[in-house]
Homo-oligomer: A and B are copies of this chain.
């Protein structure tokens, strides 16, 4: 019989997660029922947001269950199929259990093409990271050539894709990040026009004004807080702010205060719109087509750190919090 290893969530991490929060078990893979698939895991994504799902604080997604398999984005190969929608040899991506092999019904899985891009890309640039950047820019930002785009958290996985999309579409792109090294990378590797170090800049409002001589048309906001206040003073009429995250204020215990946005929005006929990537799931297919085309044309670049072996998944996850990855962290089986 077929057997598989599984990684379960043993305890909810308190503070920094540790190896002991996970345990390994081995079990037999069940027989396929009608409509089911047997999947063999190929690439596993480990991401900081998983930390949130390991806790049981209220959120917009349910927490992982204790003593059940942990999950994340996974690219798998169809090893056997009793489902008409999938054939043996297909590759799929979706949120799946941390198992070497698993039997599923196929709901929520998307087929991916290994000839269109490297399979691991479907966990990053062609996965949640790339889709978040693309949908936010296209559905909310609605960029027009020559406009000015400011990205906060610009050196993050999403931010660096946002800036590249801006450059591909002919915008003036300004990134905000916390070290000169990151800013240098944004300019040399990803083509950003200007960078602002929010940790060493005294007057952010003036720095943004200087980097954006024509004002700010699109602000892709990953951080909120004082950085976003400074952007507000520089927005143009009909500007769009994409509220992707507000990491600077997530850990506050009371609702934090910022500059009142309302007078700015009224005066500038300006828009702010929050979203999560699943809001636009119906447009994932066209998004992936466009992102893959840009990848093939070498207009879009990404970096990833790949670890090998199923047993390495928990350590790869822990390494994220030590900053041991460069770009997307992935485990290959």
Contact = CB atoms under 8 A, between A and B. Distances in A.
Interface of A: 60, 221, 224-225, 228, 233, 238, 243-246, 249-250, 255-276, 279
A273 B271 contact: yes
Nearest to A279: B269
A262 B257 CA distance: 10
Nearest to A225: B260
B260 A249 contact: yes
A58 to B, nearest CB: 10
Contacts of A267: 60, 274
18 contacts: A225-B260, A225-B262, A228-B262, A233-B255, A245-B266, A250-B263, A255-B259, A257-B257, A257-B258, A258-B258, A258-B259, A258-B260, A262-B272, A266-B276, A269-B275, A270-B273, A270-B274, A272-B272
A271 B269 contact: no
A213 B250 CA distance: 27
Given A60-B267, A243-B266, A267-B60, A261 B257 contact: no
Pick from A225, A244, A245, A269 the residue with the most CB of B within 10 Å: A269
Q: Which are the 8 A-B pairs with shortest beta-carbon distances?
A: A265-B274, A224-B262, A246-B262, A258-B260, A266-B274, A243-B265, A246-B263, A271-B273
Contacts of A260: 224-225, 246, 249, 255-258
A228 B263 CA distance: 12
A9 to B, nearest CB: 24
Given A224-B263, A267-B274, A270-B274, 14 more contacts: A60-B267, A225-B262, A243-B266, A244-B266, A246-B260, A255-B260, A255-B263, A256-B259, A257-B259, A261-B272, A268-B274, A270-B273, A271-B273, A271-B274
Contacts of A269: 273-276, 279
Nearest to A280: B269
B259 A265 contact: no
Contacts of A245: 266
A256 B261 CA distance: 9
Contacts of A262: 221, 224-225, 228, 243, 246, 249, 258, 272, 274
A275 B267 CA distance: 7
